[in-house]
Structure 1
């Protein structure tokens, strides 16, 4: 009776139809052989009385009990879907060594082939899940023959390398956080809140060299952090085994996606979506006002994936009659539907101006604005798309008051301004050391003067890339995350320019030393140009209904 009550409450919380049928039939500890003789463990959840039918494969490194079992096993099965929940290699009883991203293609294919041989599988397979569970789908979907019946991709992407190193900079906060998580997840009580461990992990992000942050955080090495710090330099192809982006255009599998405006995979996931659309496929995507692990985003994802899989397996497409693109316009309280991403918009430049101004007009011949970035006191990060901690929009007042952050602010808006699409900045900059990062953030300043971040991006500069002009000036093209945001009448747009955002991004030491071993650093003087010959600007996709 208690389980039935819990199920009803969970269905209501998730926005699903309340189920009253018998509990799913569960088979624990299936041993599935891999091509090298290793066996991976899995649990099967089947609707009561099912003899044979399609299977939803969910491959996870996070275990097969607790919330994972309840959400992806029991809940999916109660709503008519047969699920096999498998622990990836080297995790939670599965044999072998857990080396994230290394053998997911081989293991995924071996698992799918084994499933199709089982009498309770009719040969049809779908996949579901979020984040790393999405990576395991991309490692399988483009290569399986016969193909999958459906892929359900939550907060994930076909390649993770640009998420490890956005703009060429190691995403230190996310990488150390995840390393700490996977390094401790099989310890007793690991699933419970641990403020002490959280503080240790956050302190470890400042450890030098950064390759030692794992030991600083949890007291022992984590191979993933060693890999991600040691292979952070340009042209290192170490992560090629994890990159499935070349296969996206040829994917014929029906795809549904869900993500949030403050998810770390947003930019790459929307790129996957565009590639599929341009290839003539018919993917769909939902983007809400969420960060990576938001409960609201999880709720929407579960609804989306259960509905999509049910439609694909039953042939009843009624639930699929919606626009391919459904997005939440932030600060408007409304959802918008479009046929494509991005929707039609007008690229509108906002130029950086002297004395901290921002406007459509380009300045005349003016002197550049200087600042100095010091890796010993790195410019702090505030909010944004993080795995853990204080994510999404935050008050930027303290960071904007620093001497190492340039702030350019526009006039109060005469009317609401809707920005929907892909955002980019062009910053003409000269640095003293050549090795530097250019960080650009777009903020919304309300009528009370509070500045809140909307989107941002970073680019690592090296002495030979991008190309340096004869005067030492570099044209830095910085890609910011896409957004859908309404700047309200009376608010002002603000652009920050800085030399970093720590610990979200690893500090730039100014020396060119490898991120895994860098310890010493040098202060670096920047000059940002904003004249007619070098018009630094941010370009906004302005949407008009």
Structure 2
């Protein structure tokens, strides 16, 4: 195994070659998070017969230039892919791989570059598809905490400080409450010119639209508890290449290093081994056509085929309190706190199901349908689903937020999507549904004035009214006991 450094189109690049004469298929990772972090991974690929190429993107770590997130990756990736294919150790076959932003680099190389630069297969883990996708929910509501954390750690700087936002919040717990949100860089004490530009991006869906014309196999890997779980599934469903595989586990953004509380021993997967085996089969043309894969059933320690879905059922709900409440952006519902305040004027509508008489396997999209009224020209409606275990512990299952603009005082019917669930709920579990006007700081506060939440400097309280009889919680429930599946077999077939 022979490692060496190179400068490709001015960008710092490490190459790890297998032992032997070659030539070899190549694996390319382009990252803004320091190529040095991938040395062990690159050595693993090289041991399995791949020439592993890892590169710092423009303006990050050892690569010179200006760091402009999501701007230069297609052109720089194409130049690197062409360079790889010209090397004597390359057999011309190329796999593009990456997680998070690096997955974006791999995808734009596959979808936005000419044929001579395109990879022959793509591994996209927890893909951050683009600036617009990462900044906002599909409904347009701003993902404040996640984006503030990322920009504080990585934005407009050549290196990273992963704990930057945590340190800033420790010094100023009200950091994210200051208005306008465009002033965050000044409060962090450093220049972040790309922060304000982030919120102007409205090109959501561009990569997914192009995915329909993909010409190579895809392995999409995600976590049920990841910000981008829906985008991962959407990418898999849209992919037009000869085969598409999905692995969706009970994990957060760090995948197997960030298991959720519903992860069990049966959900342990050696991702590195699986990636190499999939890449080898993809390059050899040994994958069957179509979309296959595996998704974890959280709380049960088993896997299901990725196409598994339950039957829609509406769960009975009983109103506890808050059919009339005040959504006050000065005192928003805390996205990180599952405690419901006792006493005082209600800040949310609270409903609950009876205890489940038997275990329930919920697999598929969850939605809340309701009729409600806001007495301000703009209103966000946040729905949070919480599992209440028989022992009294509470666990967040899902959250959805939509933004509505109706004449003040006009009742409207609408649906709030809560994303996908794949979870076994034990007998005795009750489901608590909270309907609120904010979910902060995970999401920016709607000022209720009709103004942009990112630039707003004035906040209004909003009176809300929910028709309890109209609220329907729809879950997809498996009507049968599921038959376990082997995730490796589903990915590699």
SS of residue paired to 1:128: strand
Query: Are the equivalent residues in 2 in contact too, given 1:47–1:77 (CA < 8 A)?
Result: yes
Cα gap change, 1:304/1:462 in structure 2, threshold over 3 Å: closer, same or farther? farther
> Aligned match of 1:490 in 428, 444, 460?
428
Q: 1:20-169 residue pairs with structure 2 within 5 A?
A: 24-28=1-5, 30-33=6-9, 39-65=10-36, 67-71=37-41, 73-142=42-111, 143-146=113-116, 147-156=118-127, 158-166=129-137, 167-169=139-141
With normalisation by structure 1, the TM-score equals 0.79
> Aligned match of 1:374 in 308, 314, 328?
328
Aligned residue pairs, count? 467
Which residue of the partner structure matches residue 182 of structure 2?
211
> Aligned match of 2:353 in 410, 415, 439?
410
Which residue of the partner structure matches residue 243 of structure 1?
206
Which residue of the partner structure matches residue 461 of structure 1?
404
Which residue of the partner structure matches residue 519 of structure 1?
457
Query: Are the equivalent residues in 1 in contact too, given 2:350–2:433 (CA < 8 A)?
Result: yes
Aligned equivalents of 1:302, 1:497: Cα separation in 2 = 41
Query: Are the equivalent residues in 2 in contact too, given 1:64–1:85 (CA < 8 A)?
Result: yes
Per-residue CA deviations over 1:481-526 (Å, capped at 9, x if unaligned) read 2110111111112211111111000011111222332122011111
Which residue of the partner structure matches residue 479 of structure 2?
544
> Aligned match of 2:257 in 277, 292, 296?
296
Aligned equivalents of 1:514, 1:321: Cα separation in 2 = 45
Cα gap change, 1:507/1:192 in structure 2, threshold over 3 Å: closer, same or farther? closer
Cα gap change, 1:347/1:280 in structure 2, threshold over 3 Å: closer, same or farther? farther
Which residue of the partner structure matches residue 447 of structure 1?
390
Aligned equivalents of 1:446, 1:228: Cα separation in 2 = 40
Cα gap change, 1:443/1:516 in structure 2, threshold over 3 Å: closer, same or farther? closer
The structure with the largest strand share of the pair is: 2
Aligned equivalents of 1:514, 1:376: Cα separation in 2 = 16
Q: 1:161-240 residue pairs with structure 2 within 5 A?
A: 161-166=132-137, 167-183=139-155, 186=158, 190=161, 196-197=167-168, 199-200=170-171, 203-217=174-188, 219-229=189-199, 231=200, 237=202, 239=203
Alpha-carbon RMSD: 2.9
Which residue of the partner structure matches residue 299 of structure 2?
331
- Residue 543 of structure 1: CA displacement? 1.2
Query: Are the equivalent residues in 2 in contact too, given 1:155–1:258 (CA < 8 A)?
Result: yes
Cα gap change, 1:296/1:187 in structure 2, threshold over 3 Å: closer, same or farther? closer
Query: Are the equivalent residues in 2 in contact too, given 1:380–1:399 (CA < 8 A)?
Result: no
Structure 1: runs of 5+ lacking an equivalent: 1-23, 34-38, 357-367, 383-394
Which residue of the partner structure matches residue 345 of structure 1?
310
- Residue 478 of structure 1: CA displacement? 1.4
Do residues 287 (structure 1) and 248 (structure 2) align? yes
Aligned equivalents of 2:285, 2:241: Cα separation in 1 = 21
SS of residue paired to 1:296: strand
> Aligned match of 1:480 in 408, 413, 418?
418
Aligned equivalents of 1:223, 1:85: Cα separation in 2 = 28
Query: Are the equivalent residues in 2 in contact too, given 1:442–1:496 (CA < 8 A)?
Result: yes
Which residue of the partner structure matches residue 4 of structure 1?
none
Query: Are the equivalent residues in 1 in contact too, given 2:381–2:438 (CA < 8 A)?
Result: yes
Which residue of the partner structure matches residue 19 of structure 1?
none
Cα gap change, 1:542/1:252 in structure 2, threshold over 3 Å: closer, same or farther? same
Cα gap change, 1:451/1:192 in structure 2, threshold over 3 Å: closer, same or farther? closer
Aligned equivalents of 1:435, 1:195: Cα separation in 2 = 31
> Aligned match of 1:504 in 419, 426, 442?
442
- Residue 281 of structure 1: CA displacement? 4.4
Cα gap change, 1:144/1:307 in structure 2, threshold over 3 Å: closer, same or farther? farther
Aligned equivalents of 2:404, 2:320: Cα separation in 1 = 25
Cα gap change, 1:346/1:315 in structure 2, threshold over 3 Å: closer, same or farther? closer
Query: Are the equivalent residues in 2 in contact too, given 1:154–1:301 (CA < 8 A)?
Result: no
Query: Are the equivalent residues in 2 in contact too, given 1:396–1:450 (CA < 8 A)?
Result: no
SS of residue paired to 1:430: strand
Query: Are the equivalent residues in 2 in contact too, given 1:90–1:98 (CA < 8 A)?
Result: yes
Aligned equivalents of 2:286, 2:243: Cα separation in 1 = 17
Query: Are the equivalent residues in 1 in contact too, given 2:208–2:238 (CA < 8 A)?
Result: no
SS of residue paired to 2:150: helix
Cα gap change, 1:201/1:55 in structure 2, threshold over 3 Å: closer, same or farther? farther
Aligned equivalents of 1:376, 1:258: Cα separation in 2 = 38
Which residue of the partner structure matches residue 483 of structure 2?
none
- Residue 95 of structure 1: CA displacement? 2.9
Which residue of the partner structure matches residue 8 of structure 1?
none
With normalisation by structure 2, the TM-score equals 0.87
Structure 2: runs of 5+ lacking an equivalent: 260-268, 481-493
Aligned equivalents of 1:450, 1:297: Cα separation in 2 = 21
Aligned equivalents of 1:430, 1:173: Cα separation in 2 = 28
Aligned equivalents of 2:89, 2:231: Cα separation in 1 = 36
SS of residue paired to 2:274: helix
Cα gap change, 1:187/1:119 in structure 2, threshold over 3 Å: closer, same or farther? closer
Cα gap change, 1:112/1:280 in structure 2, threshold over 3 Å: closer, same or farther? closer
- Residue 170 of structure 1: CA displacement? 0.9
